Every structure is written in C-alpha cells, then in structure tokens.
Amino acid sequence: MDQFFAWIVVVLPTLFALAIELINQKTRRKRYWRYSVIAFGVALSGLTWWQQSRAAKQAKVDQDEAIERTAERVAATTSTSVTGALNKQYGELIGNLYKDIGKLEGKLDSQLDVRRRELALNYMPSIDLIYAGDQLQIWNRGKTNISLWGNKYNGNDRDMSNIPYVISPTTHRYLLTDKLREHILSRLGKNGEARVPLELYITTADNTKYIMHGELWEIVKDGQITIHTQNHGFEKVDWARKSK
C-alpha cells in the first residue's frame, strides 16, 4: 500500500507535465483549466504530504521494532555470557556449597533422629515388682509417669479400673496380698510351689499402652509364703481392644 502511494507521488507530476504539453493553447486560456491546474496541484501536494506522513510513521514503527529486537538479542547474549562467566568462576564453589548443605541436612536429620530416640527413651516404661509381705509393690523406675489401669492374675479375668493409678518416677503403688495369700494357701497347701503369670495394664506419659508380662514364683514351706517376682518385659499393644 505505501509503495503504491509512493509510486503515485512520483509518477503524477510527470503525467501532469505531459498533460500540460499536450493541451492546446486555446484550452489553456480557459478559466476552468486554470482552476483545474490549481486544484490538481493542491491535491498532489496533499497526497504527497499524506504519503510522507505514513512513511514517517511506518519508519518509526520499524525503528522501534528494530531497537526492541536488538535489545532482546543483547539481553539474551548478555545473560548467557554472564551466566557462563558465573558458572565458570563460581560453579565449583556453588557445587561445593550444595554438597555442604546436603551434608548438613544429613547431619540434622541424624540429630533429629537421635533426639526422637532420646524422647522415646524418656517414655519407655521400667517397672520393678517387689513382694513385701502384705504388699506387692509396683515401682516406677522410668523417667516419666505411668498409669496403672489393672492386672490379670493366673489366667483369670482382668481386674480393671475406670480411673488409673498414676505412679511417678521413683515411687510405687502397692497391691494388698491378703486375698492373694489365702488363694496361694488354698491352692498349694502348707508345702508346694508354682509359677504364676501376672499381667499389668499400663499407659505411659505419651498415652502409649503396654502390657507388662510378669511372673510370681510362689513358694509355700511349712505354711510360710515366699514370693519371688520376675519381669519378662513389655508388650506394646492396645490392651483396651484386646479380649479378656
């Protein structure tokens, strides 16, 4: 489109000059011819101005596009050069830093794991059973409180409580042994012995449920009762869901 108008602006003056030469003298003297020449000249000037304005605007657009493309190429080239230079100069350093960060994260994970294990050890139950004549004492040798919910003796039904007995570290809870002693004498007589299982149902301070598996070695000699206690360890189990 712009090329067409540029061609028109160049050709029309030449055509106009030829037309003047071809028109006879009589026609030139007429008034309408003069007006026509003036009108044509004004129109040609306007057309020329309009075409030049369009060409200037298009040149400005082309210049802006060229500047933008050049700026993009320069930015891309500069970015690539800078990145390459930084990688060349600091790539090894950055790589080593990432390695150091990985090692530190590994050490931190190990420390966190050790810490978790230490916390878990704080909650591990530790119980001593001690027979003291008229009492069977349950000592808390651990580092945190334990809650005693009940017990099970010699395969009988569980004897449970709705409210637990809380035993603090280095303290104990005792069970009276009067009924236990009567049961032993009725079962063994004046002489005899038996190994009887005893289960204690507890929870630790982190609300984990355990069953302590113990054993009472009951000995009767001439009507005198002696009980040796043994702790066979703890079973981590939800005893509340376990059948009797």
pTM score over 0.75: no
Which pLDDT tens digit goes with each residue over 176-223?
999 999 999 999 999 999 999 999 999 999 999 999 999 999 999 999
Tabulate helix, strand, coil % of the chain (nearest 5): 55, 30, 15
pLDDT tens digits for range 77-111 = 777 776 777 677 777 777 777 777 877 877 777 78
CA distance linking residue 199 with residue 234, whole number of Å: 10
Question: Is residue 122 within 8 Å of 169, Cβ to Cβ?
Answer: no
As given in the structure block, the two tokens for residue 70 are 């050049």
The predicted-structure confidence for 106-127, as pLDDT tens digits, reads as follows 777 778 877 777 777 888 999 9
Q: CATH: 1.25.40, 1.10.3470, 1.10.150, 2.60.40. Which one for 126-236? A: 2.60.40
Domain boundaries, the chain: 1-98, 126-236
Residue type, 58: Q
Task: Give CA separation, 33 vs 13, 29, 44, in Å.
Answer: 17, 7, 16
